[in-house]
Amino acid sequence: MYAPAGVKTNHNAFPIPDTMKAWILGDPGELSIGQKPTPVPKKAEVLVRIDAVAICATDLDNIYHGPPAMIEGGLPFNKNWTPGHEYMGTVVALGPGVDEYKIGQRISVEIHAGCGQCKRCREGMYTSCHNYGLNYGDVDKGHRANGFTTDGGFCEYQVNNINTLVAISDEMTDEEGTLVVTAGTAMYALTELGGLVAGESVVVTGPGPIGLLAVAVAKSLGAQPVILTGTRDNRLDIGTKLGADHVINVRKTPDVVAEVKKMNGGKGVDYVVECSAAPNAVNEALYMVNRGGKVCLAAFPHDKALVDIAHIVRNNIYIYGIRGEGKSATHRAEAYMRQKRFDATLIHTHTFPLDDLKEALRYAKDRVDDAIKVVVKADMSNAAKQAAE
């Protein structure tokens, strides 16, 4: 029976097994399913029963290439490591002293728990913690990022710091709950970094999950107009449903920058959120903004890019890089979703059981059936039966 000292459980309502099913990464791209000990929450931590996990493009980078995952100071391969980071679930055990959350509470999670001591963490920028990846295996002091520096969510249970938890409405489906952090990333880009206020004009380049939810968040915040660019008409159509005032298929438009300015009354926009990672995306974003405008880079290009720095300097343009959420933006995003300001489920396209993770990853990686956000869900009935026995 799972009963660690100092940990509060309710086995009648939520039986917890001593071991759990988990996917484990071997060589690049090679995952196998096995058993691991069920994690034990420490001070300021809870144990989360993982109900659903969304697949992020960064998961694919981690699984097939390694970075930005950093396990034991290096590449994550053959280290008994479990990837996955965009998950939601149910609190089933409380670490010592935890009373901020209750057993049985549904939550979505931010993955980064900063060290809380460095300069960036004290500013609320815990995704930029100076101790990133420096304390693997010793999470009592220092940074932790589930699915990047410690085990992630492609399993049945995981521990999370209480600072990373976001309570979600019982009306929210599991699949929608996995999207809260993606919406929080868009919120952080637009509000905390960009300082977006109602009436400002926004371009989002790239209709992937973050780009599409950036459209939704920007429109909900009162941006006008909101313009979305991309290469797939069906995704641009989703962007329209999420609030885009105009969409541009870049393959059908000879001069995208000119078209953006035309749609904005002949002038550059106030803010561009770049989510495409296209080779010339940074420069096009720079040419789309007006003088004194802002550009947020939210994609992870694999190649270095030539950037028109002279144009940045001459026009006093601000550039921000963003890695995930920060400053509790995820809580604000959840509030918008709870109030039905936008329908994040429009980007959820496929669901697979946890046992079929390899097929789910194939759909996400190869965009099978034009997959956007692919979710895997655990069947916890067998785990509960095992725990009860």
Give per-residue pLDDT as tens, 73-100: 899 999 999 999 999 999 999 999 999 9
Report the pLDDT averaged over residues 383-389: 47
Give the separation between CA 31 and CA 22, rounded to whole angstroms: 10
Quick check: 136 pLDDT over 90?
no
Q: What does the pLDDT look like over 27-79, one tens digit per residue?
A: 999 999 999 999 999 999 999 999 999 999 999 999 999 999 989 889 999 99
The whole-angstrom separation of Cα 38 and Cα 343 is 34
- The CATH H-level superfamily of 8-111+146-167+344-388 is Medium-chain alcohol dehydrogenases, catalytic domain (3.90.180.10)
Collapsed DSSP state (helix, strand, coil) of residue 310: helix
Average pLDDT, the chain: 93
Q: Give the whole-number percent of the chain exceeding pLDDT 90.
A: 83
Please give the pLDDT value at position 383. Answer: 47
254 preceded by a cis bond (ω within 30 of 0): no
- 174-204 tens-digit pLDDT: 999 999 999 999 999 999 888 999 999 999 9
Helix (H) or strand (E) holding 235: helix 233-241
Backbone angles phi, psi at 157, to 5 degrees: -140, 150
- CATH T-level topology, domain 182-321: Rossmann fold (3.40.50)
pLDDT at 135 exceeding the cut of 80: no
Sheet holding 246-249, edge to edge: 246-249, 226-230, 202-205, 269-274, 289-297, 318-321
Nearest Cα to Cα of residue 33 among 352, 355, 378 = 355
Residues 6 or more apart in contact with residue 181 via CB below 8 angstroms: 86, 108, 109, 110, 111, 166, 324, 325, 330, 333
DSSP three-state, residue 357: helix
Question: pLDDT tens-digit profile of 310-340?
Answer: 999 999 999 999 888 888 899 999 999 999 9
What count of Cα atoms within 13 Å lies in the side-chain half-sphere of residue 121? 15
Q: To the nearest whole percent, how much of the chain has pLDDT over 70?
A: 96
Q: What does pTM read for this prediction?
A: 0.93
Closest to 263 measured CA to CA, from 211, 208, 202: 202
Q: For position 371, what pLDDT does the model report?
A: 97
Domain boundaries defined on the chain: 8-111+146-167+344-388, 182-321
Mean pLDDT of 255-273: 98
